[in-house]
Every structure is written in C-alpha cells, then in structure tokens.
C-alpha cells in the first residue's frame, strides 16, 4: 500500500508539472477579457454590483467560477471599531486622532474631517510626527493624570489600516484601532452622501 500511495503522489506531481508547462488555454484570456470589459461597462453605466473587495477565480478545465473575499482579518475585534461606532464617538465630542493611511493622491480626492494623512508606506518614518500629534491631544483626567487619546486608522476599504494597526501595536501604540471597512463602510453605513471613488 505505501508503494501505491507513493506512485499516486508521483503521478499527481507529474500532472502538475505537465499542467504548468502546457501554458494557458487559448480561450482563457478572451474569457477573462470579456469579464473585465463587462465590469468596466457596469461601473461606467452605474448598473449592477461591481466585485469590489472580491476576487474572481476562473478554472477553465473544470468550468468553475469561484468568488472569494479579499477582506483581511488580521486584528482581534478589540482592536477594531465599526464606522457607526466611530461616528458615535465623533458626535459625543470624543478627543481622538484619525490617521488615513491611503496615498496622498487618494487622500486629496476625499477624506474624513480632521483626519491626518500618513500613507502606510511612510508610517514608520512619520512615527515621531504621530507621537507629537498624540501628545498635543492628550487628555487631563480629573485626578490630574494624563491619558492617551484614542487613535483610529482608516483607508478606502479597510485592509491597510489593519496592517498599520499591527505595526503601531508593535511600536507601543497599543490603543490604535482600525475602522472596519474604511471609507466605503462610512459611505454605506453612516453618510450616504459621502463621495466614493
């Protein structure tokens, strides 16, 4: 029986090598191109639901299409808040710092009020600036002690802030939290008039 199992594994491996060397079936790029054109038409004409935040996997050999989510869940729930929870804290007048980790050209398109733009790619280099901003916003407790203000991190869809919060936690900013779903969640759940792109 072990010889049969080894033979099966070898045949399976040889099939994978053969598949890898045989290339792409000629019609596959045409099918994928048609699907991409369809999505562009849907977006341009504002009909249907584009697959934002999802990935389409096409297997021509078995005639299967599978769609999977691109949402990450890198953080425990206590390190995340919903856009609705964030809105409640803003309405209550809670002092906080909001960091938008999108690239500057995205930030210029649209952003939440009182946010500061620190692109994810420059977060490490701009930690002193972030520390300085947090120190300016520190709260004085009734007993005279200083306490850190909450630090929230946002982007367009919510994946990059998770990476940013992970990094911030490692660097000692353990109070940093990700706003789940980013600006898209804000537009969908809090402010339907908020521009999206």
CA-nearest of 92, 91, 96, 135 to 115 is: 96
**pLDDT tens, position by position, 87-127:** 999 999 999 999 999 999 999 999 999 999 999 999 999 99
The whole-number pLDDT of residue 6 equals 46
185 vs 68 pLDDT, higher one: 185
**pLDDT tens, position by position, 167-183:** 999 999 999 999 999 99
**pLDDT tens, position by position, 12-61:** 555 555 555 556 677 888 999 999 999 999 889 988 887 877 788 888 88
Q: Assess contact for 88 and 190: CB atoms under 8 A.
A: no
Helix (H, G, I), strand (E, B) or coil at 140: strand
Question: Is the model's pTM score more than 0.75?
Answer: no
Facing residues of 80 across strands?
178
pLDDT over 70 for what percent of the chain? 82
């Amino acid at each position: 029986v072990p010889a049969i199992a080894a033979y099966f594994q070898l045949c399976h491996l040889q099939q994978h090598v053969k598949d890898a060397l045989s290339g792409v079936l000629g019609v596959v790029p045409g099918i994928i191109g048609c699907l991409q054109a369809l999505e562009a038409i849907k977006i341009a004409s504002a009909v249907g639901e584009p697959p934002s935040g999802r990935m389409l996997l096409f297997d021509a050999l078995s005639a299967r299409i599978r769609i999977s989510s691109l949402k990450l869940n890198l953080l425990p729930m206590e390190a995340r808040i919903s856009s609705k929870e964030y809105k409640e804290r803003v309405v209550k007048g809670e002092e906080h710092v909001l960091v938008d980790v999108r690239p500057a050209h995205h930030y210029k398109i649209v952003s939440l009020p009182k946010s500061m733009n620190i692109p994810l790619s420059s977060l490490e280099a701009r930690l002193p600036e972030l520390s300085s901003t947090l120190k300016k916003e520190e709260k004085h407790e009734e007993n005279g002690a200083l306490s850190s203000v909450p630090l929230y991190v946002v982007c367009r869809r919510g994946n990059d802030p998770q990476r940013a919060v992970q990094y911030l936690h490692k660097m000692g900013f353990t109070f940093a939290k990700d706003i789940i779903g980013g600006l898209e969640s804000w537009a969908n759940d809090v402010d339907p008039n908020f521009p999206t792109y």
